[in-house]
């Protein structure tokens, strides 16, 4: 028997009123497309374990552009994209844990919980890289001390890290005429120079390889996060990072002066490490007159790291000021 039109109107009004109830609205998952609603509905049935989340998140990087021909691209360039994305995920994860510094690895806990597994699949005119967390939700939750409580979350570290990385790329697509006031610069400033360097290196990889990418991240029962980045917009992002000095970090170098000639750079044997080469930068060579080999100095410098096209990490130091030190007694 058909339902009267008045009854349908009453049911619709009841549903809309229920959606306005904060308690009911809180149970409705985020969504941004009909596909999200379909996926989250299926996931809700599959992941009904009351003790915690069991389904893993999944992401994709779809590579197109002039660097891809009939689902084929250079292995080295594709590998650099994925390696760069892994570095970025780990850098963001470390930044969210309070570690933003250049020149050292993120701690083992962050590296483990931001490590990605990769599978690949071709599509017409593109290459698709599918990745998931190495650590399962159950394993990650099991590492947390104490019983489940209302303050705990189903988010894995990678959910937060990849989501934040996508937000940065979204901001990078909308930098505007005044980069220093853009959300892109502000977000990377908050995340620190390690994340900024990772964004810059990945953006340069896309530029060199002529790759356009579509990145998405599907966390169970959450709206899909996605962004598209062209090779051209990636080049602009890298340029803004460098011109805003987001990828630089002040450091203090203390050690023994080893250089015979101080025309362009110094070699300093650090008190607590290996010799480093420091460009003179703002220091006038005339200020170094009388500086003797073996003398101890303290240098205020700017540190910058960069991943070369060959995959090696290069560290550069540029002196800003220096002072002579008395030898320890």
* Higher pLDDT, residue 280 or 199: 199
HSE-CB at 171 with a 13 A cutoff on CA atoms is 22
Residue 210 has pLDDT above 50, yes or no: yes
Q: Which domains does the chain have, with CATH numbers?
A: 34-144+154-246 (no CATH), 249-325 (2.40.50.140)
Q: What is the pLDDT of residues 29-75, one digit of tens each?
A: 555 555 654 555 544 544 555 555 668 899 999 999 999 998 889 98
Percent of the chain with pLDDT over 90: 53
126-133 β-sheet, strand order: 116-123, 126-133, 58-64, 212-218, 225-229
Q: What is the pLDDT of residues 230-261, one digit of tens each?
A: 999 999 999 999 999 999 999 999 999 987 66
pLDDT on residue 327: 59
Q: How far is CA 298 from CA 12, 27, 248, 255, 279, in A?
A: 74, 58, 19, 7, 14
Q: Enter the pTM of the model.
A: 0.78
Give the least confident one: 120-134, 165-179, 184-198: 120-134
pLDDT on residue 125: 77
Closest CA to 196 of 311, 308, 110, 304: 304
Output the CA torsion sign for 185, 80, 84, 173. positive
């Amino acid at each position: 028997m058909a339902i009267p039109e008045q009854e349908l109107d009453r049911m619709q009004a009841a549903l809309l009123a229920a959606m306005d109830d904060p308690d009911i609205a809180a149970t409705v998952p985020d969504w941004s497309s009909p596909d999200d609603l379909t996926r989250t509905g299926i996931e809700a049935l599959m992941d009904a374990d009351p003790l915690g989340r069991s389904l893993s998140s999944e992401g994709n990087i779809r590579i197109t552009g002039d660097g891809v021909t009939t689902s084929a691209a250079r292995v080295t360039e594709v590998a650099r994209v994925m390696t760069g994305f892994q570095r970025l995920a780990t850098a963001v994860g470390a930044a969210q844990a309070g570690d933003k510094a250049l020149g050292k690895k993120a701690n083992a806990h962050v590296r483990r919980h931001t490590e990605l597994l990769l599978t690949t699949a071709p599509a017409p005119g593109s290459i698709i890289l599918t990745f998931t967390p190495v650590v399962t939700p159950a394993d990650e939750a099991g590492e947390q001390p104490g019983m489940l409580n209302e303050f705990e979350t189903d988010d894995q570290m990678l959910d937060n890290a990849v989501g934040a990385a996508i937000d940065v790329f979204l901001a990078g697509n909308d930098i505007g005429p005044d980069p220093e006031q853009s959300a892109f610069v502000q977000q990377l400033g908050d995340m620190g120079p390690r994340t900024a360097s990772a964004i810059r290196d990945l953006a340069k990889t896309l530029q060199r390889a002529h790759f356009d990418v579509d990145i998405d991240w599907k966390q169970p029962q959450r709206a899909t996060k996605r962004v598209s980045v062209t090779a051209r917009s990636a080049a602009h992002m890298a340029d803004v990072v460098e011109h805003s000095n987001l990828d630089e970090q002040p450091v203090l170098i203390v050690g023994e002066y080893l250089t015979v000639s101080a025309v362009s750079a110094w070699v300093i044997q650090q008190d607590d490490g290996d010799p480093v080469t420091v460009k003179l930068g703002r220091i006038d060579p005339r200020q170094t007159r009388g500086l003797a080999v073996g003398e101890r100095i303290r240098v205020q410098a700017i540190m910058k790291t960069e991943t070369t096209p060959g995959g090696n990490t290069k560290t550069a130091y540029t002196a800003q000021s220096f002072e002579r030190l008395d030898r320890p007694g």
